[in-house]
Amino acid sequence: MSDPNPADGGEFFAQFLDDYFAECDEHLTLVRRHLLALEGEVGRPGVDPSLLDELFRSFHTLKGISGMVGLGEAEQLAHHMESYLRALRQKGATLSQEGAEALIEGTTVLEQVIAAFRKKGAAPGIDKTVARLEAVVPETSSAPRRPETVEAAEDDGATETERGRKPSQASGAARRPEDTRTWRFEFAPTPELSERGVNVNSVRARLLEIGELLQATPHVKEQGRIVFEFVVATGVEESAFAGWHEENLTYSLVEEATPENTSRSQPSPTGAASGSWADNDSAPTATPAASLLAPSNVVRVDLARLDELMRLIGGLVTSRARLEESLKQLKRSVVPAVWRGLQETSQAMARQLRDLREGVMRVRMVQVGEIFERMKFVVRDLSRESGKEIKLDLRGQETEIDKFLVERMTDPLLHLVRNAVSHGLEKVEERIALGKPPEGTITLRAGASGDNVLIEIADDGRGIDEERIAERARALGLIAGDVRPDEALLLKLICAPGFSTRDEADRVSGRGVGMDVVGNTVKELGGTMTLATEKHRGTRFTIELPLTLAIADALIASVGDQRFAFPQTVVREIIEVEASAVKVLENNEIVSYRGGVLPLLRLARLFGLDETTPRAFHVFVIGSGASAVGLAVDRAIGQREIVVRGLNDPLVKVSGVAGATDLGDGRVVLILDVAALKSSTPNVRPLKQR
């Protein structure tokens, strides 16, 4: 028991850190949102107190939890921002431009510090930022407490808490401050203890019951052993916790009023994340634990666990499909009444599975506003760098999107926004000369569209210069000399690897991912991207992504003896066409459709399968308007819920196939990549002669 398993300790610590990063993400998201709102208050007397409260609470929590993981830089930054916010709160202070900028810089650096810690990389220097933050705190507002701000940055400074606590606004109302003594507890977790439910969290909870948690720090000892150190101020008698050493929880008395004795160099208290303003002195300690340690209704779940759950449900869906296949075969050999009973049960199971799947999907959903908020920050920076005036118009932030998609789409969206600023929007003078409002607008819009989610990035800038793109494409040999690219081709060209119309890397958009990465990511996620652009009017990228990746509704079609799955969301309708109704125009086959014509693509021909010549066949109509095409198959077989499996092996990663599924009979059915098939018009050629 005295020799804890190092691996176990490491796991504790890893878990601990996971929670930490998740909590940081949450608070930084809130901070970004509130900071942008705060910017609007610059120069106005009496800053909106609720806004300050929210920010203070977030920074306070960030400070507390950063201390617990021993990330001193983050703790200091948060501390200084907190100090400034406190100053703002007082005396109807005014937020200066410089103050707002210092907070934004502080947040940016804080984010970098946490990110560096996460990647175990080198942290950026914080001194400059700290100095800037210190500079904006008005002397008067913090006069009684002035030393804390200075000392906080120093290693041996008395902590704010110690100072704050001494003048007697004790934590628990019931305890008289004179009785309060400070103890240092050390807890060494072991697997045995963990089995009995004694772990760092339960210990922390236990300590909170007896007093006020001033500090909590994990220490990595030799061989990766982990020991958690807690400094607790309590009025409770020693006898109350004397028996705890049996659970590897040792303690010693820390002398009063000499916080240096804790051997920590924490600039500030940790553990308590009250977010309460109270008065200057007691703010951080008056109500311990509100958001960090109090129970909440929110459960944080590792995405991998949800993936696993989705995978299990996928297995269930396949099993049920198999069951239904077996039932079909059973139909003739059992009494109809019995068969109906079985059939009903199977149907009920199908519905329940669908509900279950939707339930798990809902758990994975987050609001798209989370990425959008980040864009605000980016646009703000870009606006300054480029000298362009930009208004960011956000719509549909409440649209929910799979967490996985959010993570994957963040960089591509960032890139599109950067592009919109650097390539799309004109300079102010240019806009004025064109009679446009001097301020350019970038619109980010999200919305649901059936089983898909739509994300739109639009600007009201100069539009994509088709001629320039075409010229460059010709130079690169991507298109023939006489081709005038339409919007679909333009998009394809700018998404081609290495295609950039700027000779020198643009400072703003020429870094990070390129358009090819944007295109690939969308494709990998099973989505589509379209482009609309008009000279002097602007450019709009529309990205359509499936809500979820694992399970989808599909329409099954047959060609010869092969079956294929069409993602249901891409199919507009299925029509029956008489062979005699097909007209041949040069190399293309067309049929009349809704008063117009519909070009036909025969799947058999595209895939080099044996072509049959039925009298009538089914056509899946894909897309709408002028871009609609009909994919001709032999027959539509029906609608199914399918488990989408990727075809990632390079041997079978081919154009026109998005993945594979198993319909329950042990045979693999390919899922079509309709967008890729569509773009193989009009020069149809066999992909493979087998």
Partner 1 sequence: MTTNQNDAEPFVLFELAGTTYGVRSRFVQQMEMVEHITPVPNAAPAVEGVVLARGQVIPALNLRVRFGFERVPFDLRSRLMVVNKGGRTLGLIVDTAREFLRIPDAAVEPPPEAITGLSGKYLEGIATIKDRMILVLNLDEVIDIGEQQPASADD
In the complex, the smallest distance separating the C-beta of residue 304 from partner 1, rounded to whole angstroms, is 18
CB of 667 to partner 1, least distance (A): 5
- Letter for the amino acid at 159? T
> What's at 613, amino acid-wise?
T
By C-beta, is 83 or 318 nearer to partner 1? 318
Rounded CA separation 566/518 (Å): 24
Q: Which is nearer to partner 1, 253 or 652 (CB)?
A: 652
Among 390, 416, 670, 675, the residue binding partner 1 under the rule CB under 8 A is 670
Q: DSSP state, 122? A: P
Residue 268 C-beta: closest distance to partner 1, Å: 47
Q: Could you write out the three-class secondary structure of 268-314?
A: CCCCCCCCCCCCCCCCCCCCCCCCCCCCCCCCCCCHHHHHHHHHHHH
Binding to partner 1 by residue 567, rule CB under 8 A? no
User: How many CA atoms does the CB half-sphere of 149 hold within 13 Å?
Assistant: 26
User: Based on CB atoms, which residue is closest to partner 1, 616 or 668?
Assistant: 668
Tokens of 598: 């519909």
The answer to whether the CB of 368 falls within 8 A of the CB of 446 is yes
- Asked if 137 and 84 count as a contact pair (C-beta separation under 8 A), the reply is yes
The answer to the question of residue 498 lying near partner 1 (CB under 8 A) is no
**Closest distance to partner 1 from the beta carbon of 567 (Å):** 17
Minimum CB–partner distance for residue 253 and partner 1 (Å): 56
Question: What are the φ/ψ torsions at residue 453 (nearest 5 degrees)?
Answer: -120, 135
> In angstroms, rounded to a whole number, what is the distance separating the alpha carbons of residues 23 and 602?
53
Task: Return the range that interacts with partner 1 (CB under 8 A); candidates 4-12, 157-165, 605-613, 622-630.
Answer: 605-613
**Of 596, 663, 673, 589, residue with least CA distance to 632:** 589
- 3-class DSSP assignment, residue 550: coil
Stretch that binds partner 1, among 205-213, 262-270, 420-428, 654-662 (CB under 8 A): 654-662
Peptide bond preceding 682: is omega within 30 degrees of 0, i.e. cis? Answer: yes
Q: Element (H or E) spanning 420, and its range?
A: none
The SS3 of residue 671 is strand
654 binds partner 1 (CB under 8 A): yes
Under the binding rule (CB under 8 A), the answer on residue 688 touching partner 1 is: yes
Which residue, chain included where needed, has tokens 């396949």? 318
Q: Which amino acid appears at position 529 of this protein?
A: M
Q: Which of 232, 392, 469, 657 binds partner 1 (CB under 8 A)?
A: 657
* Backbone phi and psi for residue 655, each to the nearest 5 degrees, phi listed first: -70, 140
Do 592 and 527 touch, CB atoms closer than 8 A?
no
- 128 contacts partner 1 (rule: CB under 8 A): no
Our CB check for partner 1 shows the closer of 349 and 647 to be 647
What gap in Å lies between CA 414 and CA 518, rounded to an integer?
10
For residues 311-340, which are near partner 1 according to CB under 8 A?
A: 315, 318
Say whether residue 558 binds partner 1 (CB under 8 A): no
CB of 607: closest distance to partner 1 in angstroms? 4
Among 372, 607, 617, 620, binds partner 1 (CB under 8 A): 607
Q: How far is the CB of 473 from partner 1 (least distance, A)?
A: 20
CB under 8 A: which stretch of 353-361, 370-378, 491-499, 606-614 binds partner 1? 606-614
Query: Rounded to the nearest 10 degrees, how much is the dihedral formed by the CA atoms of 164, 166, 168, 170?
Result: 70
Residue 487: which residues within 8 A CB-CB, separation 6 or more? 530, 531, 532, 533
Please report how the helices 49-68 and 72-89 are oriented relative to each other, as an axis angle in degrees rounded to 10.
160
Strands (E), 422-561: 440-449, 452-459, 528-534, 538-546, 551-559
The smaller minimum CB distance to partner 1, of residues 98 and 308, is found at 308
Strand 562-567 relative to strand 668-672, pairing:
parallel
Residue among 197 and 650 whose Cβ is closer to partner 1: 650
Instruction: Rule CB under 8 A: say whether 690 interacts with partner 1.
Output: yes
Binder among 239, 329, 587, 689 for partner 1 (CB under 8 A): 689
**Distance in Å, CB of 665 to partner 1, minimum:** 8
Of the pair 119, 685, the CB lying nearest partner 1 is at: 685
Of 401 and 603, nearer to partner 1 (C-beta) is 603
Q: What's the chain's Rg over C-alpha atoms?
A: 32
Q: 366 vs 660, which CB is nearer to partner 1?
A: 660
Is residue 626 a contact point for partner 1 (CB under 8 A)?
no
> In this chain, which of 197, 295, 498, 666 binds partner 1, going by CB under 8 A?
666
* Binding segment (CB under 8 A) for partner 1, from list 248-256, 290-298, 384-392, 660-668: 660-668
Q: With respect to partner 1, which residue has the nearer C-beta, 615 or 690?
A: 690
Of 315 and 437, CB closest to partner 1:
315
In the region spanning residues 633 to 652, those forming contacts with partner 1, defined by CB under 8 A, are 645, 647, 649-652
- Between CA 378 and CA 380 the distance in angstroms is 5
Under the criterion CB under 8 A, does residue 667 sit at the interface with partner 1? yes
CB of 688 to partner 1, least distance (A): 5
Q: At what angle do helices 49-68 and 97-118 cross, to 10 degrees?
A: 30
Binding mask 251-290 for partner 1 (x = CB under 8 A): ----------------------------------------
State both tokens at 588.
């293309």
| Residue among 296 and 319 whose Cβ is closer to partner 1 | 319
Question: Is residue 484 a contact point for partner 1 (CB under 8 A)?
Answer: no
Number of H helices, E strands in the chain: 19, 22
Q: CA 643, CA 646: separation in Å to the nearest integer?
A: 10
Q: Estimate to the nearest angstrom the gap between the alpha carbon of 21 and the chain centroid.
A: 13
Pick one of 49, 608, 614, 682: the residue that binds partner 1 (CB under 8 A). Answer: 608
Residue closer to partner 1 by CB (options 359, 608) is 608
682 binds partner 1 (CB under 8 A): no
Site mask for partner 1 (CB under 8 A), range 219-238, x = bound: --------------------
Q: Applying CB under 8 A, does 687 fall inside the site for partner 1? A: yes
Tell me the window of 265-273, 290-298, 527-535, 602-610 that interacts with partner 1 (CB under 8 A).
602-610
685 forms part of the interface with partner 1 (CB under 8 A): yes
Region binding partner 1 by CB under 8 A among candidate stretches 47-55, 60-68, 271-279, 653-661: 653-661
Q: What is the dihedral of CA 513, 516, 521, 527, to 10 degrees?
A: 140
Q: Total residues contacting partner 1 (rule CB under 8 A)?
A: 31
Angle, in degrees to the nearest 10, between helices 466-475 and 487-494: 50
- Which DSSP helix (H) or strand (E) runs through 686? none
- 8 A C-beta contact, residue 34 and residue 58: yes
Among 233, 601, 669, 674, binds partner 1 (CB under 8 A): 669
CA distance 528 to 254: 63
Collapsed DSSP state (helix, strand, coil) of residue 583: strand
At closest approach, how far in Å is the CB of 321 from partner 1?
A: 13
Interface contacts to partner 1, rule CB under 8 A: 315, 318, 562, 606-609, 645, 647, 649-657, 660, 662, 666-670, 685-690
